[in-house]
Amino acid sequence: MDPLERLPVILYRRSWLIFGLMLVGSLPFRNTPLTLGILCGGLVSIGGFLWLHRALKQLLAEPGPGAKARYQFGYLVRLIALAVVLATLISIVKIDTVGLLIGLSVMVINLFWTAIQHSLHN
């Protein structure tokens, strides 16, 4: 299998590793709201990645005249769903915003890690 084709699987697995390390790293602080914020943010981040990956696979698997419009509509749905989830977590659940931001950075850290790893190997 081409390394580029394996990339989503590698990103998915590594995101769980980073997420787990963040959660374990938050435990010594004994700050439950922070840990819950990281938990929620990490799950939202990984869930958004999986949703995007599935949408892109569907777009490439079913090319056609309406594929682009379906993808764009799905993009808007994902964006609205993310906004609703984050607004609910912040305003109604009152989740710790610092923890939420740390958790949401799982995929950002993962992408930086991948870029650095790729640049070192080439």
Region 47-72: what's the mean pLDDT? Answer: 89
Tokens read off for 108: 């950002």
What is the phi/psi pair of residue 96, to 5°? -65, 120
Is residue 67 pLDDT above 90, yes or no?
no
Q: What is the pLDDT of residue 48?
A: 94
Q: What is the pLDDT of residue 4?
A: 77
Q: How confident is the model at residue 74 (pLDDT cuts 50, 70, 90)?
A: very high
- Give the Cα separation of 16 and 106 in Å (integer): 8
Q: What is the pLDDT of residue 52?
A: 92
Q: What is the pLDDT of residue 82?
A: 95
Q: What is the pLDDT of residue 47?
A: 95
Instruction: List, in order, residues 6 or more apart from 70 with CB less than 8 Å away.
Output: 58, 59
- Give the Cα separation of 46 and 64 in Å (integer): 29
Range of the domain at 52: 3-121
For the chain, what is the domain count? 1
Is residue 60 pLDDT above 90, yes or no?
no
Hey, what amino acid is at 21? Answer: L
- Give the Cα separation of 15 and 49 in Å (integer): 10
Is residue 7 pLDDT above 80, yes or no?
yes
pLDDT digits (tens, 9 = 90+) for 12-27: 999 999 999 999 999 9
Three-class DSSP category at 64: coil
Tokens read off for 101: 């931001």
CA-CA-CA-CA torsion for 75, 79, 80, 83, nearest 10 degrees?
170
Q: Look up residue 65 and give its DSSP letter.
A: T
